[in-house]
Amino acid sequence: MPIVQISRIQHRRGKATDLPQLAAGELGWVIDDQRLYIGNGTVADGAPAVGNTEILTAGSSAFSTALNYVYKGYLGDSTPILTGASGDVTRTLQQTLDDYVSVKAFGAVGDGSTADATAIQRAIEELYSDTDQSDARSHRILFFPAGQYNVNTAIKIPPFAHLVGEGPDKTIIYQAGGNGPVAVTEDNGGQTFGNIGDSSATTPTQIQIEGITFKNGEAYGGVSIDNATKVYFNNCKFHGTYAAGGADASNSKGVTVRSTSALPCANIIFDQCQFTKFARLVDLSFDSTNVRFLNSDFSISYYGAIIGSEWDGSTTNGMSVGPRDIHFVNNSWSTINQQALWVKSKQAVEAPSVQVVSQGNWYAKTVANSNEGIGTLNEVPIIQFDQDECTSLLDFFERSDLRRTDGSSHMNMAPEVQGIGKYANRIKQVTLADNQSATTTTLEYPAGSGNLGKSIVLSYKIERGSTVRMGTFSISASTNGISHSDDYEESNGDAGVTLTAVLGREDSTSTDQTIIVKYETTNTGSSATMDVEATTIV
């Protein structure tokens, strides 16, 4: 029945051993345990059971239990597990929650409108650069829940930082109004490039960043890695403002490094990352070694990656040797106006080699053609090596495959790789028909332009019936002429195949030509198959 009035509230107090059955609504305060109880009332009055109910207070056992944590496992109480040597390990709720800290615990909002730079920087400094930074226990993962965190200055990332978001385009750090990159590295004293390492500060190292988009709303950069070693980006995105077909802009760099000669960058790894809408997706000019881009996507830019654009090979501080040992492996490249990968020439003759490797990459037809499509005269090399000890290995170039038959026209082969370096193709199989004279194969290669020559070696195997030939067919070509030689060994007789190479001009251009491999076969009644791996010294 409804309560119409409360006529009396009774109170009792005493020790726990003296607690009686309380009347309905009667309060009993246990002085020695500091716990509070209220009487249930009778079942006839509607109580579920006769007895006293404890009211939750700071002294109650239920409250203490609620603030403690014991790991139960995925089955919970149904299948208990033992977490300690002789019993469960009990931790407070505060200790448990502090294992993993959100940037929102420091006041960041991530709503796409609040200015979050101060809160984010406070969180980073407290975890990684405060007075106790030498204690590894302070270096907790800093979590960025999904959202857009607006900043108007570059976020500074110190040594041992481990920043984790919920994935590209979910967790976004958005820079607007800062006239600079979204993020830079710093030492544990808060000093940035030009002062990093002063006063014996710990330089940027052991930095891990996962699942975050670094987005710049201005024509500036994504991340500048300064005087840093052991920096690892995984599943991150670098997003700028460049529009397809736009002009180059040296300030618009998705990722760059800056070094001093005393503190060069080293061991920088990008894995499963996305680089898009910067004039230069990657620009490395300062001293750096062991930089890796793995399983990543590069799209919408003027240049893909430029190695050594500013470096002059001189004694300039931080540019004495330039970037070296740079690898691009298993990446995809698309909608890039000029070269996807350009290794610029060095000015100092005695400077060490760059050693840039492109391996297993996919270069789309929209790369290195000034955004004008296949078959235009504005195509440039997809990869340009203007320095020695560079290699393209097992890369796939969609542009040249498509250029070979462009509509009704047969086009000259455009250079995939050009300059100073080695270019190894994938193994290809062609059929050599029986009883042919000077017949064109599908093996065609760019000859270059002007006096630029090509040296191509075809390592091949020919099988015709029971006869097997293993050999190397060497071609030396420029627009001034071509020569070739064939060195081979045969088993089980003569394969009856003769290889030749000629220069062909297959469109109206006067400078670009194509190396065409031809063959002749004797009349044996059976065709031959030829497996070919082409290696080009470009």
Range of the domain at 451: 429-537
Look up tokens 């495959």; give the residue: 401
Q: Per the domain annotation, does 225 fall within a domain?
A: no
Q: Residue 348 has what pLDDT?
A: 54
Residue 406 domain flag: no
DSSP 170-193: TEEEEE-SSSS-SEEE--TTS--T
* pLDDT, tens digit, 9 for 90 and up, residues 101-110: 999 999 999 9
**Residue 522, pLDDT above cutoff 60:** yes
For 173, 269, 428, the CA distances from 260, given in Å and listed in that order, are 28, 20, 46
* Interval 438-486: pLDDT, tens: 999 989 888 765 545 778 999 999 999 999 999 999 999 876 789 999 9
What CATH code is carried by the domain that includes residue 501?
2.60.40
Cα–Cα distance, 179 to 152 (Å, whole number): 8
Q: How many domains does the chain have?
A: 2
What gap in Å lies between CA 180 and CA 211, rounded to an integer?
22
For residue 497, which amino acid is it?
Answer: V
Among 34, 49, 66, identify where a domain stops. 66
Q: Does pLDDT of 336 surpass 50?
A: yes
Domain presence at residue 21: yes
In a domain, 335, yes or no: no
pLDDT at 257 over 90: yes
- Two structure tokens written together for 522: 């004797």
The one-letter amino acid at 531: D
Write down the pLDDT at residue 82.
86
- Distances from the Cα of 326 to the Cαs of 232, 309, 323, 489, 521, in angstroms? 15, 14, 7, 39, 45
Within a domain: 179? no
Provide, rounded to the nearest whole percent, the portion of the chain with pLDDT above 70. Answer: 89
User: Does residue 56 belong to any structural domain of this protein?
Assistant: yes
Residue 131 in this model has a pLDDT that exceeds 90: no
CA-CA-CA-CA dihedral for 211, 217, 221, 226, to nearest 10: -60
Are 328 and 342 contacting, i.e. CB atoms less than 8 angstroms apart? no
Highest mean pLDDT among 164-168, 349-353, 413-417: 164-168
- Mean pLDDT across the chain: 89
Cα 216 versus chain centre, distance = 17
Write the pLDDT tens digit of every residue in 362-403. Answer: 999 999 988 766 666 677 899 999 888 899 999 999 887 776
Comparing CA positions, the residue from 219, 148, 151, 215 lying closest to residue 179 is: 219
Distance of CA 126 to the CA centre of its chain: 27
Contacts of 317 (CB under 8 A, 6+ apart): 260, 261
In this predicted structure, the answer to whether residue 493 has a pLDDT above a threshold of 50 is yes
Q: What is the pLDDT of residue 222?
A: 98
